[in-house]
Amino acid sequence: MAASVQLNLRSFKAPFNLKPIAKQFSRPGRIRCAATTPTKRYSITLLPGDGIGPEVITVAKNVLKLVGSLEGIEFSFQEMPMGGAALDLTGVPLPEETLSAAQRADAVLLGAIGGYKWDKNEKHLKPETGLLQLREGLKVFANLRPATVLPQLVDSSTLKKDVAEGVDLIVVRELTGGIYFGKPRGFGTNEKGEDIGFNTEVYSTHEIDRIARVAFEIARKRRGQLCSVDKANVLEASMLWRKRVTAIASEYPDVELSHMYVDNAAMQLVRYPKQFDTIVTNNIFGDILSDEASMITGSIGMLPSASLGESV
């Protein structure tokens, strides 16, 4: 699957603090009644997508209803097709009606995208193309991918217990720039008459600065450590990335900034993952490293993610 459960937010801020329900009823004889009149209302577009997505979204919707009843919040839901499901229904991975519904909503809850059934489709008819179009259409540039190993599930990790135990990190991935969106891109022929395919890894100062600030803010609220991952020894785009992240660091003197090449970061994530607190990186590196980090917990399906835009 190209995406696990994901919350895409444009102008939505969580209006409540999630607390374990058991704690709310921990005192004998104490009953908490649901609010009779909602004080806040939010609209959520549901995109179940493919594979396990519909099953997960159904449960997530029920959880939101329960939370809303306890906190005096009313959620309205609109389910729309996307990905392979949309391809089968409409012939495109992201129908215009789906994107419009997502843009009107306060938040979007996405299940999973992709499957073997559509792997041989042309690029514009692949489920994953719809995911890229959704990110671009919602202008969500920051992807947050936490990876926390819970004590009860530490044995689910494929790593040794002493390596996986206590891991608590988050990957902040730039989501709408870099090689996935850079131009020129396409197919052509070289001077020898051979077919070639080409893509462009490109970042502007603005794109780097805004994702860096998101990462610094998150690190400031965690353990105060930020590791910026790049390939600045080879790639010009990474050289600019490191230069700008270093410059933004002056705005956050309380956050300790370090830099790491992506190949080393991939190795360190499985060698000693507890060294990481907050990681910030570009689109393609973040795509790979966040999946790797998720497997420290045992399964990518055990972790959520959120995609944020400027207005969040």
Query: 16 CB contacts (<8 Å, ≥6 apart)?
Result: 67, 71, 73
The yes-or-no answer on residue 287 being catalytic is yes
180 is catalytic: yes
Contact 51, 16 (CB under 8 A): no
Phi and psi of 48, rounded to 5°? -60, -40
Known catalytic residue: 231?
yes
pLDDT in tens, 51-106: 999 999 999 999 999 999 999 999 999 999 999 999 999 999 999 999 999 999 99
Which of 147, 164, 169, 155 minimizes the C-alpha distance to 294? 147
Which one is catalytic: 106, 168, 209, 291?
Answer: 291
Structure tokens at 278: 């907050």
**Fold: same for 1-138 and 140-312:** yes
Choosing from 180, 183, 230, 261, the catalytic residue is 180
**CB half-sphere exposure, 196, CA atoms < 13 A:** 10
Q: pLDDT band for 36, please (50, 70, 90 cuts).
A: low
Structure tokens, 72: 């005096």
Q: Which of 40, 243, 263, 272 is catalytic?
A: 263
Domain 1-138, architecture per CATH: 3-Layer(aba) Sandwich (3.40)
Please tell me the pTM assigned to this model. Answer: 0.81
Report domain 140-312's class: alpha beta
Per-residue DSSP letters for 156-174? GSSS-HHHHTT-EEEEEEE
94-132 residues labelled b (16+ CB within 10 A) or e (exposed)? bbeebbebbeebbbbbbbbbbbeebeeeeeeebbbbbbb
Task: Read off the pLDDT of each residue in 282-287 and give the average, rounded to a whole number.
Answer: 97
Which tokens is 164 given? 């996986």
Enumerate the domain spans of the chain. Answer: 1-138, 140-312
Give pLDDT tens digits for 180-235.
Answer: 999 999 999 999 999 999 999 999 999 999 999 999 999 999 999 999 999 999 99
Which residue among 126, 231, 252, 277 is the active-site one?
A: 231
